[in-house]
Chains A and B, each alone.
Chain A
Amino acid sequence: MSRFPGLFARARAAGRCALIPYITAGDPTPEASLEIALALARAGADIIELGIPFSDPVADGPVIQAASERALRAGMTLARVLAMAARLRERAPATGILLFGYFNPVLRHGLESFTREAARAGADGCLITDLIPEEAADYRAAMDAAGLDPVFLAAPTSPDSRLAAISQASRGFIYAVSRTGVTGARASVPAGARVLVNRLRPLTRLPIALGFGISTAAQVREVAEFADGAVVGTALVAALHQAGGSAAAAEQLIHGLQSGGLQSDSK
């Protein structure tokens, strides 16, 4: 079993939601992003989403697109993301690791070898942004064989029949998308996010994490009222970029999201 259920249970017991920072692996360099990931883990991130850079990230806004470009320019490859996950796992044995990416690099690597190597590296699960359950038969079989949790997206546009299928196909947790659109920091958590999570609840016993647009400690607290986890991506990637990819900044940013105060609402 992956670390995910225990991590969500631990956060729930502490009266908070799981904090799930996203970084693009390899941004600004493979070495610096490993240090950033380790700092996130040290600071108490429950699950780290390690983004696999891709040349054509259609689900991402400009901030994460730029991070992906920086990582690719710095020589990041899928094999190096897996090596980075392994080193993160060695030094952060309790932190959840979710590999997050697009399907083509995974296909090119080979589904079986990708899932086998991801499991060996110590990842707990994967989320492939452009893979829906209907297209994921081979992927799910490979994930099962490797003992990895497949996490699928649920969207505000998904009808209940799809939410049921997404719940069935997911393991570990479900990633609910707070709004229609690409990744990117927003000023508020939309009302539809709570509606989506409430629609999912009767369909699944899995924890539900909310992502897309969450950027401040206040928003994380708001999300904790109705969801089990909050993903912070763009705001973190942008702040780390501004801080020159410093690991110390990563640690501070996580502390800020946990307690409130360091993140400005304008991000």
Chain B
Amino acid sequence: MKLTAQEKSGSVGRFGPYGGRYVPETLVAPLDELAAAYQAARQDPAFQAELRDLLENYAGRPTPLTPARRLSAELGGAQIYLKREDLLHTGAHKINNCLGQGLLARRMGKRRIIAETGAGQHGVATATVCALLGFECVVYMGETDMERQALNVARMRLLGAEVRGVSSGSRTLKDAINEAMRDWVTHCETTHYLLGSVLGAHPYPEMVRDFHACIGQEARRQYLELTGRLPQTLIACVGGGSNAIGLFYAFINDAQVELIGVEAGGRGTALGEHAARFQGGRPGVLQGTYSYLLQDDDGQIALTHSVSAGLDYASIGPEHAELHDRGRALYTRAGDREALAACQKLARTEGIIAALESSHALAEVLRRAPSMPREAGIIVNLSGRGDKDMEILRREMAL
């Protein structure tokens, strides 16, 4: 159902009917404090300068826009460009947001940071920023994810973070967020919750989007410099949706640019076998926000499956729900097998091993590029590198 009356009720952080703040009362004051600190920081030139310096000289921005010449030639259609977030420090786009929120936490005087992580990329980026800024760091991670992303668990520990396994529910990202929220509601006066995607209660979806908007701003400028025009299509994978909104946001008003988000099709279409919220979900409330949600007839949150831990989540960022409903972005799905095949294809044509999350976006590129004209351009967000997935890739591909 649409919460149309609620839109008019003055509630904050709405994207159309989606978003808002669905949290226990205890968290409202910390969310207000965070929103106020963020508003002040975004207008503070000193904050912006420090963030820009860290993004350039620590994280490695701007990231290249790499023409995928052999892949484009092999597919015989559109020219494909890779936005190389995989080359950032820590191996994924997640560091953009972690640096921003880390500086914000310092500004708020909070020296204990908690985070959730699915694939471990956000956890590693959080642990990294905490080491850099001298914060205590606790990362919640589902036990299923700890097994399949064991390398990232070791990285976080090496960086000085405490990784707490979560054994409830499906033992994946959703359950890690539950535990992080429980920690935050208990320790909110001293602790900043460094949420890793465009999820959760206001101001997170807006704030995390803004910290990742540099992806699309750079890509737009780089593509214009290379080609003199805008790309026809942007493609990004969508778990919570932070890398996708980061790429899309600078192009939202370029109506001719097609925006495509790719959800995890998993291993089947039945509830529990995938994480394609726009295929099998309906609007509901989970973990602070109103958005599309995989749930059963009784409103219980469904289990999800994806070979990629970073996409294995029952809900999706509320801004994506709004982009979906008004038809500004199109959301498709790619299954486990397609993503693995796409990962291999990019490795063998371009010498780049993509994360399994980003490989879902590549799978859509492989489907779509051949039927597009040769003068058309696609930018695909290579949101992370595949090192963390080598164990899964080795097993699945008998390497």
Contact = CB atoms under 8 A, between A and B. Distances in A.
Contacts of A152: 25
A24 to B, nearest CB: 14
Interface stretch (A15-23, A90-98, A174-182): A174-182
Contact of B12 (A56, A65, A134): A134
B21 A132 contact: yes
Nearest to A109: B299
Contact of A104 (B30, B175, B178, B295): B295
A39 interface: no
B3 interface: yes
Contacts of B25: 132, 152-155, 157-158, 162, 166, 177
Contact of B26 (A72, A141, A156): A156
Select the residue from A72, A105, A111, A153 with max chain B CB neighbours within 10 A. Answer: A105
B29 A158 contact: yes
B24 A130 contact: yes
A208 to B, nearest CB: 14
B28 A180 contact: no
Nearest to B20: A135
Given A107-B285, A180-B186, A138 B6 contact: yes
Nearest to B3: A138
Nearest to B186: A181
A180 B182 CA distance: 10
Nearest to A140: B9
A153 B20 contact: no
Interface in A10-61: 54-59, 61
Interface in B282-338: 284-288, 293, 295, 297-301
B284 A107 contact: yes
A56 B287 contact: yes
Which interface residue of B1, B8, B22, B286 has the most chain A CB atoms within 10 A? Answer: B22
A79 B300 CA distance: 13
By DSSP majority rule, is chain B's interface helix, strand, loop, or mixed?
A: mixed
B10 interface: yes
Contact of A55 (B1, B26, B169): B169
Given A55-B301, A58-B178, A131-B22, A104 B185 contact: no
Interface residues of A, number: 46
A33 to B, nearest CB: 17
Interface residues of B, number: 44
Contact of A56 (B5, B169, B188): B169
Given A130-B285, A181-B185, A157 B28 contact: yes
B187 A180 contact: yes
A157 B301 contact: no
Contacts of A177: 24-26
B24 A58 contact: yes
Contacts of B1: 107, 110-111
B173 to A, nearest CB: 12
Contacts of A130: 22-24, 285, 288
A244 interface: no
B299 A78 contact: yes
B168 interface: yes
Contacts of A141: 5
Contact of B181 (A58, A79, A102, A156): A58
B39 interface: no
Contact of B297 (A58, A102, A108, A132): A108
A239 interface: no
A134 B300 contact: no
B174 interface: yes
A213 B23 CA distance: 19
A226 interface: no
Contacts of B300: 54-55, 72, 105
B301 A56 contact: yes
B168 to A, nearest CB: 6
B24 A129 contact: yes
Given A134-B10, A137-B6, A77 B298 contact: yes
B169 A78 contact: no
A59 B9 contact: no
A137 B182 contact: no
B189 interface: yes
Contacts of A106: 299
B50 to A, nearest CB: 29
B371 interface: no
A58 B182 contact: yes
Contacts of A132: 21-23, 25, 28
Interface in A135-150: 135, 137-138, 141
A105 B301 CA distance: 9
A129 B25 CA distance: 8
Contacts of A261: none
Given A134-B12, A138-B3, A158 B298 contact: no
Contacts of B27: 157
A159 interface: yes
A105 B299 contact: yes
A135 B24 CA distance: 12
Contacts of A102: 285
Nearest to A166: B25
Nearest to A156: B26
Contact of B29 (A77, A79, A162): A162
Nearest to B187: A180
Contacts of B3: 138
Contact of A108 (B8, B12, B284): B284
Contact of B30 (A110, A135, A157): A157
A134 B26 contact: no
A160 B185 CA distance: 19
B298 A135 contact: no
A78 B23 CA distance: 21
A159 B11 CA distance: 18
B313 to A, nearest CB: 12
6 contacts: A58-B182, A69-B168, A102-B285, A104-B299, A137-B8, A155-B29
User: Ordered nearest first, which 7 A-B pairs have the shortest CB separation?
Assistant: A108-B299, A105-B299, A137-B9, A181-B186, A155-B26, A157-B29, A153-B25
